[in-house]
Amino acid sequence: MRDVLWQIWLNCGYFLTVAASGFFLYKLCAPFVRPRNGRFWRVLLFLTLAGSTGMVIWIGDPNLLYTLPAFFALFLLSTRGDRIGRVAVCIILFCLEMSVCALLDTYVERINRNALYDVLVRLARPLVFGPLWLLLRRRLPREPVVLSRRLWKLVLGLAAMPLCALIAVVLLTFRRYDSIEVNTVAMYQGMVVLPFVFLTSLVLLFAILILADHERLEQANRLAGLREVYYQGLRQQETQVRRLRHDLRNHLTAVRGFLEQGDEQGAIGYLDQIAGSPALRGTRRLCENEAANAVLTAKAEAMEREGVAADFAVFLPRDLPVADMDLCALLGNALDNAIEGSRGAGERRITIRCKADKGLFMLRVENTLGGAVQPDLATTKTDKAAHGFGIPGMREIAERYGGTLDAGVRDNGFELVVCLPLAGQAETL
């Protein structure tokens, strides 16, 4: 009876330690990837992280080979966003987790071979991952980090180093069971390489945070440039208004002169000229969001210069859970494509519909398609960092937020549709 109770206690303790390790790893993972929408995917990600810590990983044992494909498949299945970024984070977390498991399972056995071995290695896992998360949690951001495709590729290349080192020390030492000399070399090799894998994985996580901070600063600078252009236009209009007020007496005198001479058409023409002044048209306000309004007004002026009729219906609140630079990229690239595609058309008209409602950001741009000019859709499919203001491509942004983008030519017109889920938004904005 005592043995049965002891086994029950051990099994319960095993599941508790696995759950605790999964909890700490999930908390550590949350700032770097976004789970798919829905409780099922969050539970699947938690079970993936927790279940893999329950694997016994010895140096020279093939368990790592069986764990790796399952871990990668489930991790990528339960997360969303940039594919390269998810693969990079998956590799880093796998190396971090497996290096700890391999160290504990291999070297605790050499220290203690009695019946307490299983208890020690099970308890040691959450005792490593728990303090690790507690030490890092103040440094970790609340929202998942955002990097450009170029930086994620850099992180992915760096993440290959600890992965190759882990595979080399765990899988390629399988001959240690056949030779005492190989076993000795494998043990010494593991004592050096596995801590290196663990520390390298931690450094890579910190590197992602540093790169994300750098990316935010760059985006802030680019957005500041956009706003500067917008406010320069406002200052010019204010200057024109002051000049118009200063010259108002002269304008009235000129109109009176036309009327005294009986030249009514001249007076009407002069009044029309004054009415057409930008100072009297007022400041455009196409939506409440400052970043979006800056881009839309700039593009509206560009369309006016090209003789394009524009129909704007944009309903965006002041605050959106979408980075200002991403919002500018979506609107700016969409309108650039529409303007380019309309060149050569008899009657150039662009329609833009954009709103944030019921937890979704929806953007639709349509235009009349010119006979000879086709829209350049490259900015919707690739990371074209050099486009315009040096902003990322629309396709990349849509994938990063777990949304969709559809663009093409339909019914002799160009249509582009973007739909992004807005995390944390109220049912109706």
Evaluate the CA torsion angle 210, 215, 216, 222 in order and state its sign: positive
Quick one: pLDDT band at residue 78, thresholds 50, 70, 90?
very high
359: left (phi over 0), alpha (psi -120 to 50) or beta: left
Tracing tokens 């969050």 back to the chain, one arrives at 42
Q: Is the pLDDT of residue 304 over 90?
A: no
Q: Dump pLDDT digits (tens) for 133-148.
A: 988 888 888 878 888 8
> Can you give the three-state secondary structure of 253-283, one letter per residue?
HHHHHHHHCCCHHHHHHHHHHHHCCHHHHCC
Give the 3-state secondary structure of residue 392.
coil
Tracing tokens 């889920």 back to the chain, one arrives at 421
| Least confident among 58-72, 184-198, 300-314, 412-426 | 412-426
Q: Is the pLDDT of residue 67 over 60?
A: yes
Question: Of 198 and 229, which is predicted with more confidence?
Answer: 198
Chain mean pLDDT for the chain: 79
| Least confident among 184-193, 303-312, 372-381 | 372-381
**Residue 356 CA to its chain's centroid (Å):** 18
Q: Is the pLDDT of residue 293 over 80?
A: yes
Phi, psi for residue 283 in degrees, rounded to 5: -80, 130
Give the 3-state secondary structure of residue 418.
strand
Stretch 86-92: mean pLDDT: 94
Question: Of 182 and 316, which is predicted with more confidence?
Answer: 316
pTM score, whole prediction? 0.63
Q: Which pLDDT belongs to residue 68? A: 92
Stretch 58-63: mean pLDDT: 86
Quick one: pLDDT band at residue 193, thresholds 50, 70, 90?
very high
Triad 187, 193, 195: Cα angle to 5° = 105
| Least confident among 6-10, 84-88, 403-407 | 6-10
Q: Report the share of the chain in percent with pLDDT over 70.
A: 76
DSSP bridge pairs for 419: 362, 404
**Residue 374 CA to its chain's centroid (Å):** 29
The answer for residues whose C-beta is within 8 angstroms of residue 390's C-beta and 6 or more apart is 222
As a dihedral over the C-alpha atoms of residue 63, residue 51, residue 91, residue 44, rounded to 10 degrees, the angle is 140
Neighbours of 62 (CB within 10 A): 11
Question: Of 157 and 37, which is predicted with more confidence?
Answer: 157
The answer for residues whose C-beta is within 8 angstroms of residue 96's C-beta and 6 or more apart is 197, 198, 201, 202, 205
Report for 92-96, 114-118, 255-259, 306-310: range of highest mean pLDDT: 92-96
The span from the CA of 42 to the CA of 80, in Å, is 11
Q: How many CA atoms lie within 13 A of 144 on its CB side?
A: 22
Q: Is the pLDDT of residue 197 over 90?
A: yes
Q: Which pLDDT belongs to residue 2? A: 59
CATH topology classification for 285-429: Heat Shock Protein 90 (3.30.565)
Quick one: pLDDT band at residue 410, thresholds 50, 70, 90?
low
Give the residue among 421, 427, 394, 320 at the shortest CA–CA distance from 37.
421
DSSP bridge pairs for 406: 417
Question: Of 78 and 82, which is predicted with more confidence?
Answer: 78
Tracing tokens 């494998």 back to the chain, one arrives at 186
The span from the CA of 400 to the CA of 80, in Å, is 7
Q: Which pLDDT belongs to residue 25? A: 92
Domain ranges for the chain: 2-219, 247-283, 285-429
Tokens linked to 46: 């938690």
Q: Dump pLDDT digits (tens) for 200-257.
A: 999 999 999 998 888 778 767 766 766 676 666 667 666 766 766 666 667 677 777 7
Q: Dump pLDDT digits (tens) for 92-112.
A: 999 999 999 999 888 887 665
| Least confident among 247-261, 299-313, 332-346, 366-380 | 366-380
The span from the CA of 325 to the CA of 100, in Å, is 39
Report for 261-265, 294-298, 363-367, 408-412: range of highest mean pLDDT: 363-367
Q: Is the pLDDT of residue 428 over 60?
A: no
The span from the CA of 293 to the CA of 176, in Å, is 66
Q: Which pLDDT belongs to residue 357? A: 82
As a dihedral over the C-alpha atoms of residue 241, residue 243, residue 244, residue 246, rounded to 10 degrees, the angle is 120
Evaluate the CA torsion angle 288, 294, 295, 301 in order and state its sign: positive
295: part of which helix (H) or strand (E)? helix 290-305
Q: Which pLDDT belongs to residue 172? A: 82
Q: How far is residue 59 from each of residues 115, 186, 240, measured CA to CA in Å?
A: 21, 7, 77
The answer for residues whose C-beta is within 8 angstroms of residue 228's C-beta and 6 or more apart is none
The span from the CA of 169 to the CA of 72, in Å, is 20
